[in-house]
Structure 1
Amino acid sequence: MQSPAKTPEEYIASLPPERKEAVSRIREAILKNLPAGFEETMGYGMLGYVVPHSIYAKGYHCDPKVPLPYMNLGSQKNFIALHAMCVYGNSKLHEWFAQEYPKHCKTKLDMGKACIRFKKMDDIPYALIGELASKLTVKQWIDICEQAVKR
């Protein structure tokens, strides 16, 4: 479900009440911990946390017109999705997150390559999400992405 919202505030205002609080709290955890240089935007109909073109002019290798994505946050039909590209691009970070998750949640981790799905609004690890957002600097993320593209 892609939202037509143009701003993060507009996006959150459009959510159903049961999702509004959880998405707002995840957003707050990310923004509080996001390293300098990353920027909040709207992308793919979701909240996006990206390396802006002003820092990395090449943009996303799949579509250079799009800033380099780090994380996206969206409310889907049956869950809240955190698309944490940073864990997809970094196996050590993926392993760390998978090991830490059970220490913060009662439910089993529901995760694809980069998509972490939260189906129970009362069991979202806000502090862990904030810590995940803080793990890489803009430079580290750019280096990881450039190495991946070279392969």
Structure 2
Amino acid sequence: MTTPATTPEAYINSLPDDRKAAMQQLRESILKYIDKDYEERITYGMIGYVVPHSIFPAGYHCDPKLPLGYMSVASQKNFIAVYHMGVYGSKELLDWFTAEYPKHTKAKLDMGKSCIRFKMPEQIPYELIGQPAGKLSVKKWIECYERALKR
């Protein structure tokens, strides 16, 4: 789903009532943990957390005009999605997350490479989603990203 919103607040306010609280709580949990060098913005039509060009001038390799993405959250048609490139790019972080997940919710983990999907907002383990946001500093995420590009 795309949005005309230009700020995270406007994005959340544009959502149906049954999604607003869940998205706001996800955002708050991420902001609680994430390295303050990441920048929060609307990117790809969702709330994103990126490495700004002022820190990583090379930007995203597929389109260097875009900042390097790290994490995003979105209200999709049938689910709420958390896209976490750190979980995708770091086996250590992926292993930690998948081991922790069942300790925080009875819901089955519905996950692709970087996408964690929640069909029912009441099953979102908000605190757990926020924690991996802070597990990779901007510096460590850039190192992980550059290592993956060299492969």
* TM-score when normalising by structure 2: 0.98
State the Cα deviation string for residues 28-49 of structure 1 (Å, max 9, x = none). 0001111121110110000000
CA RMSD of aligned residues (A): 0.7
**Within 5 A, what are the aligned runs for 1:71-150?**
71-150=71-150
Answer yes or no: is 1:61 the counterpart of 2:44: no
User: 2:44, 2:4 → 1: CA distance?
Assistant: 9
Unaligned runs of 5+ in 2: none
Percent same amino acid among aligned pairs?
A: 60
User: 1:102, 1:2 → 2: CA distance?
Assistant: 31
User: 2:70, 2:78 → 1: CA distance?
Assistant: 23
Unaligned runs of 5+ in 1: none
Moved over 3 A (4+): none
Displacement of 1:75 after TM fit? 0.2
AA at the equivalent of 1:125:
P
User: 2:130, 2:5 → 1: CA distance?
Assistant: 24
SS of the equivalent of 1:26 reads helix
How many corresponding residue pairs?
Answer: 151
State the Cα deviation string for residues 61-98 of structure 1 (Å, max 9, x = none). 11111111010100000100000011111111111111
